[in-house]
Structure 1
Amino acid sequence: MRPVVLAGSTVVLTVPGPDDVDAITAACRDRSIVRWTTVPDPYTRADAQRFVGDVVPAGWEGHSPVWAVRTTADGPLLGTIGLIARDPSAAEIGYWIAPAARTRGLATAAVNVLCDFAFRADGLKLGRIEWRALAANLASAAVARRVGFRFEGVQRRGVLQRGVRHDAWVAGLLPDDPRVPADGWPM
């Protein structure tokens, strides 16, 4: 798959590159990102270099694209968002926002832009996007809920994080689901 830039009214999603290594390194050392994601701990500059040099290109080649979240095309990296292909018509979404950029609605805007593209016939033509997070990750759940993801349940020990299995919350979004906050979420 060829890299594509996606833009909404408040976010621009671009491919992360070598110029983003320092921002990724700093963000992935944030205790909440370490707590709620599967990034290595401690997170090193070499991890960020491996991410932009190996993981991102391999993802684009393997239908699991990753974007940098920015407010302008040439602005600083404020987070990342991506899809992990589950099969030809479904993917799992994942995202994080750097501490200084939180509470501005960037995650919600980025998830909406990415889901729009993922469902479009001239995009990825997906029939389902799944969201999974460690149970009790209220911030990530709030974003998914606002976008319209429907809570589907708890996957017991569904996430492996640094060698330890944890319960996961699971939600799904289908192309015809309304993009309004969904009820039924544990909060």
Structure 2
Amino acid sequence: MEHRVLSNGTIWLSAPTADDVDAITECCQDPAIAEWVTIPVPYVRDSAVTFLEEMVVPGWAARSPTWAIRPRAGAPVVGMIGLGEQDESAAEIGFWLAPAQRSRGLMTQAVELVCEFGFHADGLALERISWRAFVGNYASAAVVRRAGFRYEGMSRLGSIQRGRRRDHWLAARLRTDPPGPSDDWPAQFISARTPSTQGPGVP
């Protein structure tokens, strides 16, 4: 598929390129990203190169696009978000954001833009976008809850991160779900503090 730039005038989402390698490498030094995202540790420059060559390029060639999150057109990368194809009508969303950009609502805006593209007939024409995050990642849960995802439960030891199995939460948004925050999440998510914003799907 062709690269698609997404923007709402506040943030810009565009395919990461080789020019972004150093910025990606710097962002991924953050311990919180390493805690919640399935990235290599330590994360070195070659890790970013491999990410571009083995995930970003083939992903765009198929139906698994990855976007760099930027505060303006042409600005350095401050985060990453992507859709991983599960079948012809379903995908999984994943994301991370650099520490200095958190708690500003940027990731919620990015998720909403990506979902709009994913569901639109001129985008991927998806019926379902799912989300999963390691148990404890309340920040990621807060983002998708605000973006209309509905909680679906917990999978015991359902994910693996650097050789260790971990429990993860599940949620999803359907094309037919109403926009706006979802109100069907357990109370623990409503009251939780959210100091970081990451999800496991985009290394």
Counterparts of 1:32-111 in structure 2 under 5 Å?
Answer: 32-111=32-111
**Residues 1:117 and 2:111 aligned together:** no
Gaps of 5+ in 2: 190-203
User: Are 1:26 and 2:26 counterparts?
Assistant: yes
| Per-residue Cα deviation, 1:137-167 (whole angstroms, up to 9, x for no partner) | 0010000000010000001111110011101
TM-score norm. by structure 2 comes to 0.89
Q: Equivalent residue for 2:193?
A: none
Does 2:160 correspond to 1:142?
Answer: no
C-alpha contact 1:18 1:53 (8 A) present in aligned 2: no
Kept in 2, the 8 Å contact 1:83–1:92? The answer is: yes
Aligned to 2:182: 182
Counterpart amino acid of 1:81? I
The higher-RCO structure (CA 8 Å, 6+ apart) is 2
Tell me, in whole angstroms, the C-alpha distance in 2 between the residues paired with 1:71 and 1:30: 19
Matched residue of 1:60: which SS?
helix
In the alignment, what sits opposite 2:159? Answer: 159
Name the CA distance, whole Å, in 2 between partners of 1:53 and 1:163.
23
Which amino acid is the alignment partner of residue 61 of structure 2?
E
CA contact (8 A) 1:17 1:53 kept: no
Deviation track 1:38-69 (CA, whole Å, cap 9, x = no partner) reads: 00111011001111233210111121110000
| Aligned-pair Cα RMSD in Å | 1.0
Identify the range of structure 1 (48-57 vs 34-43) with the bigger mean alpha-carbon deviation: 48-57
Distance in 2, Cα, partners of 1:139 & 1:179: 20
TM score, norm. by length of structure 1: 0.97
Unaligned runs of 5+ in 1: none
Please list every run of at least 4 consecutive aligned residues from structure 1 whose deviation after the TM superposition is greater than 3 angstroms: none
The offset of 1:10, in angstroms, is 1.4
Q: Give me the identity figure in percent.
A: 51
The whole-number CA distance in structure 1 between the counterparts of 2:98 and 2:20 is 12
The separation in 2 between residues aligned to 1:71 and 1:84, in whole angstroms, is: 23
